[in-house]
Amino acid sequence: MALRNIREEGDPVLYKVCKPVKEVTPRIKELIEDMFETMYEANGVGLAAPQVGILKRIFVIDTTGEDPHVFINPTILETSGEQTGAEGCLSVPGKSGIVTRPNYAKIGAYDENMEYFELEGTELLARAICHENDHLDGHLYVEKVEGDLFDPTEYMEEIEEDEE
Ligand code: ZN
């Protein structure tokens, strides 16, 4: 396993539509392992293949640190409700923005053995599913931000000051 270089906003690879995966080759297995390692190292909850420069329809999510999922050729099957909250992206380091997303999402995808599964998520998991799926079509969350991007560490300090 190895850490991969995370591509940042402005890199053309982040704005392209990714191609479906035909079969999980040893190279793709290695990519998936590297994506998990890179995501955990960066303290992220999700990472999509284009973020490490690979234009394939693959992303990984782990919202708790103990719930890893890989999604290959995913399709969002159903969404409902709404949540508005702060969102960030490993490709836009040091920034957050307020984004409204569905509060529930159901996704169908293939796992690392190319076996089909469906997964339902609410709240953070639903947000992560929608965010990562957008990456596969060349979209970044900053397109959906309401208001300005902010530095999340300063934002937290402001909240703490307000509470005093
Ligand atoms: Zn992202």
CA of 15 to the centre of ligand 1 (A): 12
Burial per residue of 33-65, b for 16 or more beta-carbon CB atoms within 10 angstroms, e otherwise: ebbbbbbbeeebbbbbbbbbebebbbbbbbbee
CA of 132 to the centre of ligand 1 (A): 6
Tell me what percent of the residues of the chain surpass a pLDDT of 90.
91
Q: How far apart are CA 21 and CA 17, in angstroms?
A: 13
CA of 135 to the centre of ligand 1 (A): 7
Ligand 1 ion: nearby residues, β-carbon < 5 Å: 89
Which residues are known catalytic residues?
132
CA of 164 to the centre of ligand 1 (A): 33
Tell me what percent of the residues of the chain surpass a pLDDT of 70.
94
Q: What is the pTM of this model?
A: 0.93
pLDDT digits (tens, 9 = 90+) for 47-85: 999 999 999 999 999 999 999 999 999 999 999 999 999
